[in-house]
Amino acid sequence: MFGELLIAILAALLSHSQDVSHADTAQCKCIPSEACWPTQAEWKSLNDSVLGQLIANTPVAAVCYPGHQYSAGQCATIDALWTNTTFQQNQPLGYSYPLSVPCPPVVVSDGEVPGNCSFGNAPAYTVNATTIEHVTKGIAFAKKHNIRLVKRNTGHDALGRSTGYGSLQIWIRYLRTGITFHEKFTASPSLWNGSAFTIGGGYVWNDVYPHATSRGLVVVGGGTPTVGCIGGWMQGGGHSPATRDFGLGADQVLQAQIVLANGSLVTVGPLQHPDLFFAIRGGGPGTYGVVVSTTVKAWPTTNVVVQTLAFAPLTAGFVPHFMEALTDLYAAYPALSDGGWWVVLDFVIL
């Protein structure tokens, strides 16, 4: 009896897995080595439709490697800027530490030949979107040609969710329709009656903080001001020095604009597309369309006391004590939080 049941279950599982693998093959995305990959003429037509904003990607440090792009001078410049976050953010394929880049800058001494510069899992093309129409065109092209679509804002994502082999990347860094202040913003009276800012595109918190500070207001943004406002930070939750007092980044969003997979631009809020409004606020980035603006709460500013504690093991022998001290610190977090402190731990790896 059990044997028969087991066989029945196995048979069901097997037929299921066959169905799945069949479906997977049918739905595989097209990659650059395949005949289905768009032709040069098709890429050109996409480029024309986005008014020349299409980039054929090359690794940031390609100039350091043998080939037509090689330039010792440019390579030295890139090497010097490599750990500069702003510099990386301005490159279509620039990523933040600790994402490992397959093609790092190498300063080659005479006679030495570096390995080949591999593209790794980087997207093949980038739509450097400056308008919502560019976003729409990019989505339509990827859909029509069955190629993978990647959304990129700052390239900060340590899980690599803003990269992907053989894809078309939509880059929103230069999609900037303005930072607009609302003295009073009421998407729904039960949600908020106070001030708010609409962040129209790929701004980082560094761009937004001065608008709030100059009005005696505070917005809940990244502790590191180079994090993007409307992308992975908010859609993944969003931690802030102000979270202890005002909640997570996702809790701040009163309304958003999203380009859906079908190309439509929708406004989502507590009363419009409430399911989508719920999903983007912490439901995981890059999943529910391309967010092109958010409207976030602005709070009256408040005075805070800041204290920084830095400690490090000065010798290898001290590491066990360091770990013990770290454990004590972690254990104190709940009490510190109950006492009104927001605590952040920054690791510096030397």
Ligand X SMILES: Cc1cc2nc3c(=O)[nH]c(=O)nc-3n(C[C@H](O)[C@H](O)[C@H](O)COP(=O)(O)OP(=O)(O)OC[C@H]3O[C@@H](n4cnc5c(N)ncnc54)[C@H](O)[C@@H]3O)c2cc1C
Task: Give which of ligand X, ligand NAG, none residue 96 binds (C-beta under 5 to 8 Å, depending on kind).
Answer: ligand X
Q: Which is nearer to ligand X, 64 or 290 (CB)?
A: 290
Task: Give which of ligand NAG, ligand X, none residue 189 binds (C-beta under 5 to 8 Å, depending on kind).
Answer: ligand NAG
Listed residue (188, 213, 192) closest to 297, CA to CA: 192
Task: Give which of ligand NAG, ligand X, none residue 130 binds (C-beta under 5 to 8 Å, depending on kind).
Answer: ligand NAG
Centroid of chain to Cα 4: 50
Task: Give which of ligand X, ligand NAG, none residue 285 binds (C-beta under 5 to 8 Å, depending on kind).
Answer: ligand X
Listed residue (198, 270, 282) closest to 243, CA to CA: 282
Torsions phi, psi of 333, nearest 5? -55, -50
SS3 content of the chain, % helix, strand, coil (to 5): 35, 15, 50
Q: Which is nearer to ligand X, 167 or 195 (CB)?
A: 167
Q: What does the binding site for ligand X look like in residue numbers (CB under 6 A)?
A: 96, 151-158, 161-162, 172, 222-224, 226-228, 230-233, 235-236, 238-239, 285-286, 290-291
Question: Per CB under 6 A, does 260 bind ligand NAG?
Answer: yes
The interface region with ligand NAG, picked from 29-37, 71-79, 212-220, 262-270 by CB under 6 A, is 262-270
Sign, Cα dihedral of 284, 148, 51, 95: positive
Tell me which residue has tokens 């037929």: 15
Listed residue (68, 170, 56, 169) closest to 117, CA to CA: 68
| CA–CA dist 143, 65 (Å, integer) | 34
Task: Give which of ligand NAG, ligand X, none residue 156 binds (C-beta under 5 to 8 Å, depending on kind).
Answer: ligand X
Question: Per CB under 6 A, does 268 bind ligand NAG?
Answer: no
Smallest gap from Cβ 5 to ligand NAG, in A, equals 43
Question: Per CB under 6 A, does 47 bind ligand NAG?
Answer: yes
Task: Give which of ligand X, ligand NAG, none residue 54 binds (C-beta under 5 to 8 Å, depending on kind).
Answer: ligand NAG
The footprint of ligand NAG on residues 190-229 (CB under 6 A) is 190, 192-193
| CA–CA dist 231, 154 (Å, integer) | 8
Question: Per CB under 6 A, does 299 bind ligand NAG?
Answer: no
Smallest gap from Cβ 158 to ligand NAG, in A, equals 20
| CA distances to 261, 342, 346 from 305, in Å | 45, 10, 18
Q: Among the residues of the chain, which ranges form H helices? A: 2-27, 40-49, 72-81, 85-89, 132-144, 205-213, 232-235, 243-246, 249-252, 274-280, 319-338
Contact set with ligand NAG (CB under 6 A): 43, 47, 52, 54-56, 81, 84, 86-87, 90, 92, 115-116, 128, 130, 174, 189-190, 192-193, 260, 262-264
